[in-house]
A and B are shown apart, each in its own frame.
Chain A
């Protein structure tokens, strides 16, 4: 019955979809792609960081092209999320990366069954840092609605953040996570998932550097190495909303001077290269058929009993 309703509505909406197809496409997902970490610069690309320290893991960091949503950034290049049964996929209940523990998603099914909205004491909270800013903002929008700016950082931490975002703030600073190169470094073919060698330009030791609150004197392009790369990323950087303001605002935090310690030195920052999605097994249809037979049998027995009684009376 439900299937019939679904099919009926799908058919009816088919014509409608044709009529308004352009509208749907216009608002559809933007063409975003995962990138090796080196492709993110201070002015282009959005950095995604996910804190797995609750399960003894590192903070994983990756990069994506910018016309994107927070959700897409978190669902490309091997990253996958799970929503809740109650709120749909837009509520991020679990996050997994295919290169970390075989794509296992956290929190695990034992910790949270992701049927209802998770409690405010243990959930993934979403933080942004605008290009150049060194403070985290608790996201006022859901992952599907928020559109990261080029050069910004998105962070997901797990724990008990209150709804105002005043308690349970991230312990790492945006400057420890963001890209500090002003030009893309590394592989020229960013879309290939095996461009893992480009994850190297910012080894953990370098970028968990200090996080000065005061604006440091401008020192752009701390790592212009491997610049043989064609400057095909240039035009993209220029197309960012306000190219004149953003670079000056970004302090670039001189990664070489790692004197001041990070707030939580135990948590490593690891670059997560674009990877293939973790394999998904859709399972077998046999239980569904078995249940169908069982339902027919039990229901049929009830109908038979009722009918026999009525005939006898």
Chain B
């Protein structure tokens, strides 16, 4: 396959540095995995996480995410963000625990009493919410585990953002959603660029022996950074305009209106279908039929809207064995957790009232470790060229 080799050669920029890749990776050709494969993998893992409340399995998921990111992260700006997702996850857990302590759900005689917050009495007609009061170990633990589950799902999305190239991901969006995709891509790239900008201004101030700490220095940093951001957005707008972004193409007014109507109706159908599926007391036709009709309308709308966008075939993202393997790892692990085969469903949700040690069911553990296989199934990332790094 000549094009593949050529592409790899040019991007690597010469022979591979020896020892850059571990063991078996040395024999493999570095390339970036299809972003959709990473997204499927991560979302499947998040789905698997939503099934369990077992802290042991949740910690295992975090470890697996850390392993895969450690193995397959690139050096791109978006690939350095996982740390911030971890901070976000921690704050989610902390907020959950604090709220459970303040809005006490009550202590029972069987609980382990920890401490007592000042109780603010509420009138009888407002008795639904209790402020303060005794707090038990069980209440805090259940809040922490609940928060940990949400944190894990956040980290899964964070891992997808870290591993997949958001700009390449734009290509796989349906044509009709391409304005949305452009907006999302621009907004995704804002945060890393802001960080770079702050660092640059900070360094410039230090070189001029200016203040780098304190409130006055903050003004000196914020103003240039904002200016920088404005200038860059204008530059970006000009560049996009000159490349023909935002033009309506060959779409006529009626076709645009038809697309809009189809999409709107389709979305309404999807909403009604989801509601019908989740609420058992709604009439039957609101469930699966509405969902199917909504999906059909949406697909038609996307098809119709996508016709006005022509896409380049330059540098296509290939979908090869590795992509299949990574996506299958994630999907298989979610499937195993949802099928309840070989383990007791109660083990996924260990009891906190009364307090007991969580167990480590074998099949879910194996399923989560299987998701971790993506760490060596995916091709190794492209190594960074030295001069580029020095120039940064």
User: Which A residues contact B (CB, under 8 angstroms)?
Assistant: 1-2, 5-6, 9-10, 13-14, 16-17, 20-21, 23-29, 71-72, 75-76, 80, 82-83, 85-90, 109-110, 113-115, 119-121, 141-142, 144-145, 280-285, 287-288, 290-291, 294-296, 298-299, 301-306, 308-309, 312-313
Contact = CB atoms under 8 A, between A and B. Distances in A.
Interface stretch (B62-70, B212-220, B259-267): B62-70
Contacts of B134: 24, 27-28
A303 B109 contact: no
A280 B275 CA distance: 39
Interface string B279-308: 011000000000000000000000000000
**Interface pairs A-B: 9 shortest CB-CB:** A302-B70, A24-B116, A302-B67, A88-B105, A287-B360, A306-B70, A283-B357, A13-B115, A291-B56
B168 interface: no
A2 B359 contact: no
Contacts of A302: 63, 66-71, 375
A283 B356 CA distance: 6
A280 B354 contact: yes
Interface residues of B, number: 80
A17 B117 CA distance: 6
Interface stretch (B94-102, B190-198, B224-232): B94-102
Given A2-B93, A299-B66, A288 B21 contact: no
Interface string B104-148: 011111110011111101000001101001110011101011101
A20 B134 CA distance: 10
A110 B346 CA distance: 8
A313 B144 contact: no
A313 B20 contact: yes
A121 B282 CA distance: 12
Contacts of B351: 82
Contact of B59 (A13, A71, A291, A304): A291
Contacts of B17: 312-313
B73 interface: yes
A282 B138 CA distance: 13
A290 B359 CA distance: 10
B70 A305 contact: yes
B372 interface: yes
A237 B117 CA distance: 35
A121 B281 contact: yes
Contacts of B369: 298
Given A72-B109, A306-B73, A313-B20, A295 B60 contact: yes
A270 B150 CA distance: 44
A17 B359 CA distance: 34
B383 A313 contact: yes
B63 A299 contact: yes
Given A88-B100, A302-B69, A114 B349 contact: yes
B53 A85 contact: yes
A71 B386 CA distance: 67
Given A282-B355, A294-B63, A305 B360 contact: no
Q: Which of A16, A110, A284, A313 has the most CB of B within 10 A?
A: A313
A71 B106 contact: yes
22 contacts: A2-B97, A25-B116, A27-B121, A75-B108, A75-B110, A82-B353, A88-B142, A89-B111, A90-B105, A121-B281, A141-B127, A280-B356, A282-B355, A282-B356, A290-B360, A291-B60, A294-B63, A302-B66, A302-B71, A312-B18, A313-B383, A313-B386
A24 B106 contact: no
A48 B100 CA distance: 29
Given A2-B93, A88-B142, A115-B349, A27 B109 contact: no
A308 B19 CA distance: 9
Nearest to B140: A6
Given A24-B116, A113-B349, A89 B106 contact: yes
A97 to B, nearest CB: 15
B90 interface: yes
Contact of A23 (B105, B116, B127, B128): B116
B71 A24 contact: no
Nearest to A282: B356
A283 B22 CA distance: 41
Interface in B1-26: 17-22
Given A88-B142, A313-B17, A299 B67 contact: yes
Contacts of A10: 114-115
B384 interface: yes
A313 B20 CA distance: 6
